[in-house]
Chains A and B, each alone.
Chain A
């Protein structure tokens, strides 16, 4: 059936990549079937349901209000970013049904237009939010993509502490203060592996890194470790294969940490981690200082490259493309074990998939994990258990306290 939106028998227009419809009848179809529903019928329909309404692989979004149009603005790469809602008859209820595979998560906003004015808003029907440095998005997930229990504060987990270190930097000029996570029951007489995290503040704020570390260490899945939480001054410059950054991390920060904290010597207990541009910074620092960093955790790295011709990502990516092209030509051995994760719904999936065989062919032990997710801190958070426990395994099998 093909019909225009805004009529009671209409379905939301089929959108590219999203198949609509389902074998069994959806709740919204029941509502539509009786014509324009009364206000009370809409109240009853909304009552007690959690929206977006997930029914098998069908997901129904709703918006209620006297407006001119509503559309879903999502961030899934490869699909039109705007999906129009249909009005239910002449009522004030709008809806959109999409087909999403299981174990999917998407972040979105609603674009609500009224009297010529458009506003991007969080979905009033959906309390689930994800935060990032730009604000918040509403979150929709299908079955199997629930937020894992180990990402929530666990009252049984002993809490680590945040110390800090001041590092005089010739590479950047001036002094940089770096917060340092120390695991619960830290003691100076013991030695610990080290992980240096790029965008440390954002990882703490938006990926709950401190909670995740506390929990995974408590569960014995990850070794008690020291984690340096670095932040950039000018991120887009410093993280884009910037020689001073690699120098700072390796020649300045690492020795300072080694002097201040009991670190296990050797690259096998030393790692770099980052997401997006932070992933580029982690990989390029290890590539420039081969033999120093033995573990890499790279999440949705912005590993743009060209096989021929120019790239189309703008001048910020020029140094990144130069670096990734050079690395693809001569990977060397930036680390021994590399964990790479990426969302299948983000543009960078192609670049990340392309990187993995290059690193493997160069003799590195590489583990690649894809999730039906986007370029988001929630995605990066939820892959940390697998990544960290692989790179820095804890004494899970041996310790029974």
Chain B
């Protein structure tokens, strides 16, 4: 069991707390940063450097990936094909998700009928959604496994070279900061270079999409999008460095947290994981197997309530 400390934070743009975290952790020495989720803006990290202070080395995962694909056209083509396959699979999953979620929602909202059967039907409806999610995650994992078995990306010279450089930076880093952004791009780059496998025991600070990428299951969500039904969907497995959590950045804006039916469905669908909104000010520290949270850090409970994340809050 890792004893690494992981700090998950809410969005940092408007009310940053990173500087305080660095101070709390008493980090002295270089800090590695990952801003690959910012895509082409990856290098525009001045504000982040100011917050982290001291010696910050950006791992440049986005730029490095571009360089790898420019150098290794065979890998680039295979990577593109895999992304197309993942995209198609995600859209097929979405087709099935909508009709699976409808009865679960309807039954959670229903108040009339024999209690025993209502409860049983609710369980069955939520189970059907969970089975669909599980199947999707397995298929996505299978696509990744096949890709890695076929192409051995870490063994290819271009990846290997960059990976060595990344490993060297990480071995000297006293902490790793992972910013948010495009969660699929971020995960993709983290996987390509096998960053999780290069980590030492240094603390990790991650926020928004960065926090999502560290969990074992990445869930995309928005209750009121301008298009579509607003069905939360699983994307793929994350790095699994903080298992048992589904983190929900900008939940206040993206989720109807005052709708107990939606909250209940979210919580039941992803149990036994704890669903944690990550809004400004949220702070969650995972220290080996222990977890502590700031008092205003909350969780979605299966009865539809959003309650403080503490022992009493779990139900």
Contacts and interface: CB of A to CB of B under 8 A. Distances in A.
A189 B184 contact: no
Interface stretch (A167-175, A312-320, A388-396): A388-396
Contacts of A397: 220, 222, 225, 233
B226 interface: yes
Contacts of B209: 399-401
A389 B249 contact: no
Given A390-B227, A396-B225, A401 B212 contact: no
14 contacts: A185-B41, A187-B40, A187-B41, A386-B227, A389-B225, A393-B227, A396-B222, A397-B233, A398-B185, A398-B220, A399-B181, A400-B209, A400-B249, A401-B181
A20 B220 CA distance: 48
B280 to A, nearest CB: 11
Interface string A363-401: 000000000000000000000011001100101111111
Interface of A: 156, 185, 187, 189-190, 221, 385-386, 389-390, 393, 395-401
Contact of B181 (A185, A189, A385, A400): A400
Nearest to A395: B182
Interface in B170-184: 180-184
A400 B226 contact: no
Contacts of A386: 226-227
B11 interface: yes
A400 B208 contact: yes
Interface in B206-232: 208-209, 212, 220, 222, 225-227
Determine chain A's interface SS by DSSP, over half rule. Answer: loop
A389 B220 CA distance: 18
B150 interface: no
A163 B184 CA distance: 33
Given A398-B220, A399-B181, A385 B208 contact: no
Contacts of A385: 226
Determine chain B's interface SS by DSSP, over half rule. Answer: mixed
Interface residues of B, number: 23
Given A398-B182, A399-B209, A221 B13 contact: no
A386 B11 CA distance: 27
Nearest to A401: B180
A397 B90 CA distance: 12
A351 B68 CA distance: 55
* Shortest 9 CB-CB contacts between residues of A and residues of B: A389-B226, A400-B249, A400-B209, A400-B208, A401-B180, A397-B220, A221-B226, A400-B180, A399-B182
A401 B181 CA distance: 4
Contacts of B227: 386, 389-390, 393
A221 B180 CA distance: 17
B250 interface: yes
A390 B227 CA distance: 7
Given A386-B227, A399-B182, 6 more contacts: A156-B14, A189-B40, A190-B40, A389-B225, A398-B182, A401-B11
A398 B184 contact: yes
Contacts of B181: 399-401
Nearest to A155: B14
A236 B41 CA distance: 44
Contacts of B212: 400
Contacts of A398: 182-185, 220
Contacts of A389: 225-227
B180 to A, nearest CB: 5
A393 B225 CA distance: 11
Contacts of A396: 222, 225
